[in-house]
Amino acid sequence: MVGVVSKPDTRGKLEILSTDAQYDLACACSCSKDEHRQRSDDGKWIYPVTLPNGGKSTLFKTLISNVCANDCKYCPLRTDMDIRRCSLRPEETAKIFLDYYRQRKVFGLFLSSGVLASADATMDKLNETAKILRKKHGFRGYIHLKVIPGASDAAIEEAVSLASAVSLNIETPGEANLAKLSEKKKYIEDIIEPIKLMSKLTGRGTKYERVKQTTQFIVGAAGESDAEIVKYMFGLYDRLKMHRVYFSAYQKGLGDESVTGEQVMQERPTDVFVREHRLYQVDFLLRKYGFTESDIVFEKNSNLSLAIDPKEAWALRHPEFFPVSVNRAEKFSLLRVPGLGPVTIKRILEQRKKRRIRCIEDVGKVGLRLEKAGKFLAF
């Protein structure tokens, strides 16, 4: 039996819906201390986040509704769960967001929803909220809209026309893995084709090229391997020009206990969060360091090492590449050195125009990262 909240006020509904929005983390990242999943003390609906372009900000984040017709086994909001259900009207959502925006407590809006009667019925409510803000109130700031799996082309294009960023969760690498999680969703028709459409609509030279497109994997829910995720991740960046790919570790106990595969069930509870972190590190290697899918090193179980980061794993696999000359090497080679990031490498390139770098201390204050880098450099 489904629990129903009778006529809660707007704040009461927001308490429920913003709490349930925590399960959708595609606007967050966990690669550094200021990017971990977190919530402001001021309210469950205010989230510090990393934006698709890499910038930091604070968003007003909620669901339009936690009513959901889908059966995703990893999701605590799926149709057969006994939880308090409620919905916000577009006018309510727009009003309370603008109250916070005018107080300068938030930078923009991240809006998602459970699936109401249909994908397009839900998209109507999401898009209507954005239309009220854009056309009635003249809001020109940041709006991130989640596209509902199975939405029509027309609903998707309208969302793209209203949003600063759009996303649809890819959830799993491949049709077979999604089939373990949902009997209702069709991987190609409901997820892949809409993602391709958004990529086409937001591509370079198009009317909506300013709009960023992101997606998210649910890590560990279907017993998939990291190699499978990385293969799809690389394709999303290489062929579909995705702006950002995010990862959310599946936490047993939130969804159906029968959802995870044997491989995942054997992991320690913390391992899936390390997996999530390693995948974010791979994401940075692909986007910022010039790595390709073939450069990523996996262990015998087709997963990334939990003990060392992916860049160091590549370095240990390719001893012939090292040591790298800190005074002569090109930027590409320096980017392959464990412990060196783009900021440090920029400093190295600037320093060696003026003088020879003779030791690791000349690069900067030696901490764990520079100490590691020193083992792979020649001076």
Q: Sorting pLDDT into bands at 50, 70 and 90, what band is 377? A: very high
DSSP single-letter state for residue 295 = G
316 pLDDT exceeds 90? yes
**Judgement on whether residues 43 and 111 belong to the same structural domain of the protein:** yes
Tally of domains within the chain: 2
**Judgement on whether residues 290 and 156 belong to the same structural domain of the protein:** yes
Q: Sorting pLDDT into bands at 50, 70 and 90, what band is 2? A: very low
Can you tell me whether residue 252 is helix, strand or coil? coil
pTM: 0.86
Q: Sorting pLDDT into bands at 50, 70 and 90, what band is 112? A: very high
| pLDDT over 90, % of the chain | 66
pLDDT at 231: 98
Cβ atoms of residues 277 and 326 within 8 Å: no
User: CA 268, CA 275: separation in Å to the nearest integer?
Assistant: 11
DSSP code string of 291-329: --GGG----TTSS--SSS-HHHHHHHH-GGG-SEETTT-
How large is the average pLDDT for residues 13-21? Answer: 73
Which of 115-119, 163-167, 226-230, 285-289 has the weakest average pLDDT?
Answer: 115-119
**Judgement on whether residues 144 and 267 belong to the same structural domain of the protein:** yes
pLDDT at 264: 45
Across 1-32, b (16+ Cβ under 10 Å) vs e yields: eeeeeeeeeeeebbbbbbbbbebbbbbbbbee
What's the one-letter identity of residue 161? S
Kind plus residue range of the DSSP H or E element containing 4: strand 3-4
Could you read off the pLDDT of 241-293 as tens digits, one per residue? Answer: 999 999 988 876 555 544 544 444 445 667 888 999 999 999 999 999 999 99
**Judgement on whether residues 101 and 20 belong to the same structural domain of the protein:** yes
**Judgement on whether residues 158 and 179 belong to the same structural domain of the protein:** yes
Which of 248, 281, 309 marks a domain boundary? 309
CATH label of the domain that carries residue 257? 3.20.20.70
When the pLDDT of each residue in the chain is averaged and rounded to a whole number, the result is 86
**Judgement on whether residues 247 and 142 belong to the same structural domain of the protein:** yes
**Judgement on whether residues 149 and 184 belong to the same structural domain of the protein:** yes
354 pLDDT exceeds 70? yes
334 pLDDT exceeds 70? yes
DSSP single-letter state for residue 43 = -
CATH label of the domain that carries residue 342? 1.10.150.320
Lookup: tokens for 51: 């934006």
Could you read off the pLDDT of 211-222 as tens digits, one per residue? Answer: 999 999 999 989
- Residue 53, burial from CB neighbour count under 10 angstroms (0-12, 13-18, 19+): exposed
186 pLDDT exceeds 60? yes
Position with higher pLDDT, 123 vs 72: 123
Cis status of the peptide bond prior to 342, with omega within 30 of 0: no
How large is the average pLDDT for residues 337-353? Answer: 94
Q: Sorting pLDDT into bands at 50, 70 and 90, what band is 207? A: very high
Q: Identify the bridge partners of residue 112 per DSSP, sorted by sequence position.
A: 63
**Judgement on whether residues 83 and 183 belong to the same structural domain of the protein:** yes
User: CA 199, CA 31: separation in Å to the nearest integer?
Assistant: 26
**Judgement on whether residues 148 and 116 belong to the same structural domain of the protein:** yes
**Judgement on whether residues 47 and 161 belong to the same structural domain of the protein:** yes
Kind plus residue range of the DSSP H or E element containing 123: helix 119-131
Lookup: tokens for 347: 């400093």
**Judgement on whether residues 266 and 339 belong to the same structural domain of the protein:** no
Give the Å distances, CA to CA, from 371 to 138, 326, 364, 379: 52, 14, 10, 14
Lookup: tokens for 28: 């967050």
Which of 67-71, 157-161, 291-295 has the weakest average pLDDT?
Answer: 67-71
Cβ atoms of residues 10 and 64 within 8 Å: no
Cβ atoms of residues 376 and 338 within 8 Å: yes
38 pLDDT exceeds 60? no
Output Rg (C-alpha) for the chain, integer angstroms. Answer: 22
**Judgement on whether residues 322 and 305 belong to the same structural domain of the protein:** no
> Rounded to 5 degrees, what are φ and ψ at 47?
-120, 125
Could you read off the pLDDT of 18-33 as tens digits, one per residue? Answer: 776 665 544 443 444 4
Q: Sorting pLDDT into bands at 50, 70 and 90, what band is 7? A: low
Give the Å distances, CA to CA, from 332 to 208, 312, 335, 340, 342: 32, 16, 5, 11, 10
Domain that residue 36 falls in: 3-309
